[in-house]
Chains A and B, each alone.
Chain A
Amino acid sequence: MRLLEYQAKELFKEFGIRTPPSISSKDIEKGRKDAKELGYPFVIKVQVPVGGRGKAGGIQKCSSDDEFELKYPQLLNMSIKGEKTRAILLEKMADIEKELYLSLFLNRSKRCYTIIASSEGGVEIESVKSQTIREVGLGDVDAQTAKEVANEIGLKDSQEEQFVEMLQKLSKLTIEKEAELAEINPLAILKDGTLIALDGKVMTDDNSNFRHDELQQYQEKSELEEQAEKSGFSLVELEGNIAVIGNGAGLVMSTFDLVTDNGGKPATFLDVGGGATTETVYEALTLISKMKRVTGILVNLYGGIVKTTTVAEAFIQAYDNNLIDIPVFARLMGTKSKEAKEMLKDTKTKMFDSIEEAINGVVMEANK
């Protein structure tokens, strides 16, 4: 789960990591109350699950009611990289002396957590040359290691102490919440010499959700995504008009790539899981039927053991029940494909032998 900044900061607070005073809201009435409580000046920050919002104008200074009335609705209605604003955070401005970087990050190849720290912060860490990197196993950071990291990025005395404390708290958060990433960027040194987390990003392991009920309040899912999850599917919604359905994440990604390569715009990434049955495909079509912007459906299934006729049955049922009336372009691998083709002969489902042909068909249909 990718937490929004204000959610990450709630965790920071819970673990005693210092953040500037801030209040989050989802509508302007609440926003006005927050503004009064916080007092001008402050910054208005859009809460979106993607990076790069500063450049996109998603962070604005605000120092009066007039400015607030103008900027709050603007930011609330904005989209960044296709992501709509989820919430607004009002935050007191900080008097910054210097910006640093700190994160605990799951290094997948080394299969251990790593501390990444730098004396340069506020920018994407990939663009920073001087990084201090330490491997710390399952994420536990002892005081000695934290001290060494502090020294390597040039912190001494009181700032070293504050940094050690902050890093150890971040480590505790990472372990207890099972985070893949817990990042403070920038970690600011204020003019008064104190350290504070100005922005935060936390990604938790979705597979551990079952033992973190306390994180469920942060789960932001669309109705469709929730339904997909109930069916055991994984669904990513996008802005295009071609619904891409398949079995197995790799195969669906590959199909998605080819659709885009050929000028199509996917509306979904929908993985019904390794197996494929009449029921799973029918359920997938049910989900898609709720997306009004979809004008063509592309189905790519590698059945192996599965008979393609059982999958063809799902399309026939979907048309019979008036679930869908848009065309389906399908490529089904598995046994009995001749029979499946015969079954679908007079329907709006077109069967193809190769995925390339099916993609050509659906892209032409969708771009009509």
Chain B
Amino acid sequence: MTDIYEILRGQKDADGNYEKKPVIVQGITGKYGSAHAKLMLEYGTNIVAGVTPGKGGQKFEDKIPIYESVKEAVDVTGAEISIVFVPAKFFLSAAKDALESGIKLLVAIPEHVPIRDAMEAIELAKKKDAIIIGPNTPGVIVPGLIKVGIMPATPFSTGKVAVLSKSGTLLYEISNNLTSAGFGQNITIGIGGDPVNGTRMIDAFDMVKDDPELEAMVVVGEIGGDSEEILAQHIIDTGFKKPIVGYIAGRQAPKEKRMGHAGAIVMGNYGSAESKISMFAKANIPVAKRPGEVAVLLAGKMNS
């Protein structure tokens, strides 16, 4: 599997600092793309190129060159990371452009990407040995080093807890609580709220679990699908021993209604909160009743 840490931070230099990996922004001239490109730059993300067909040759903020295609941008910069801000209906072609040009980590921000398009992009990513995070994700952040996403900077701090979350705002809320309680984050990954995810809970777990600096994990799930159940079984099977705490949103949601996220829907028992919470219990993962309780449960686990 492609190593997400290698892609995002590379190796430490003699002074113990990680590399500043180059990042491409697809859709950098759009309202949303340009606003977040600026925020990522402020955070210290090394944005080296933008891509907007029809605007090749221009510059973003007078310094970052804009190219016609990802291929051109990759040829010049050698970047392996791209973040996509295009409208949902153009996502598939943007993803193909990126994956066929050698992008190894594609962060897919758009919401409302058709499932079939997401599935096609994911198939291509598998062939190219690349990672797609999303669609409908807030992105990925290694606090203090690199932010490839739309998350605010304030909730996050450097540390040793990995946070995996389907929801964006719950990721911010819970990371903020963790930060206040002294649990900084080693990485946080937004899985996304769509029915089909480029990086599933289980993939994200496998990507981060072997990092020697990792001390604990927080998994923020929600109703819909069975990725939490599958993750729990995988945790049992692999015998992962570091502390994990969970949270599941949507316990009281009515059945067969989409609760905001395309993927947040219970059909029969498929996707129900009870099913997820009981599998977490089997895997010895305590589940917080409310977001504010996550840090408390984690503290309990770390001390036991």
Which of A49, A82, A203, A208 lies at the interface centre, i.e. has the most chain B CB atoms within 10 A of its CB? A208
CB of B9 within 8 Å of the partner chain: no
> What bracket does the count of chain B residues touching chain A fall in?
35 or more
Query: Are B170 and A251 interface neighbours, CB within 8 A?
Result: yes
Evaluate contact between B268 and A124: CB separation under 8 angstroms.
Answer: yes
Q: Mark A49-69, 1 if CB is under 8 A from B, else 0.
A: 111000000000000000000
In the assembled complex, the Cα of A111 lies from the Cα of B151 at a distance in Å of 26
The stretch of B54-62, B161-169, B204-212, B278-286 that contacts the partner chain: B161-169
A111 to B230, CA, bound (A): 13
Q: In the complex, what distance in Å separates the CA atom of A276 from the CA atom of B298?
A: 30
Instruction: Choose the segment among B64-72, B75-83, B237-245, B256-264 that binds chain A (4+ C-beta atoms closer than 8 Å).
Output: B256-264
Q: Is A333 a contact partner of B292 (Cβ separation < 8 A)?
A: no
Number of A-B residue pairs at CB separation under 8 A:
166
> Nearest chain-A residue to B167 (Cβ)?
A250
C-alpha gap A111/B255 in the complex (Å): 22
- Tell me whether B12 is interfacial, beta carbon within 8 Å: no
Judging by beta carbons under 8 Å apart, are A333 and B255 in contact? no
Instruction: Tell me the bound Cα distance from A265 to B93 in angstroms.
Output: 44
Interface residues of chain B: helix, strand, loop or mixed (majority) = loop
Q: Kindly list chain B residues whose C-beta atoms are within 8 Å of the C-beta of A124.
A: 268
**In the complex, which of the residues A50, A108, A355 contacts B195, with contact meaning CB atoms closer than 8 Å?**
A108
Closest chain-A Cβ to B202's Cβ sits at a distance in Å of 8
Residues of B within 8 A of A16 (CB): none
A contact residues around B166 at 8 Å (CB): 250
A261 is an interface residue with CB less than 8 A from chain B: yes
Interface mask (B203-232 → A, CB under 8 Å = 1, otherwise 0)? 000000000000000001011111100100
Give the distance to chain B from A182, nearest Cβ to Cβ, in Å: 13
Contact A106 B196 (CB under 8 A): yes
A194: chain B residues at CB < 8 Å are none
Which secondary structure characterizes the binding site on chain A? mixed
Expressed in whole angstroms, the Cα–Cα distance for A238 and B257 within the complex equals: 11
Chain B residues whose CB sits within 8 angstroms of the CB of A254 once the complex forms: 170, 247, 249-250, 290-291
User: What residues on A are CB-neighbors of B254 within 8 Å?
Assistant: 82, 236, 238
Q: Which residues of A contact B263 (CB under 8 A)?
A: 108
Among B112, B194, B250, B268, contact of A51 (Cβ-Cβ < 8 Å): B268
| Contacting pair B172 A302 (CB below 8 A) | yes
- Residues on B lying within 8 angstroms of A by beta carbon are 39, 88-89, 112-116, 119-120, 122, 138, 150-152, 154-155, 165-173, 176, 193-196, 200, 202, 220, 222-227, 230, 247, 249-264, 267-270, 289-292
Apart from A250-B220, A254-B250, A355-B292: 7 A-B pairs, beta carbons within 8 A: A207-B113, A246-B169, A249-B167, A253-B264, A304-B152, A304-B172, A355-B290
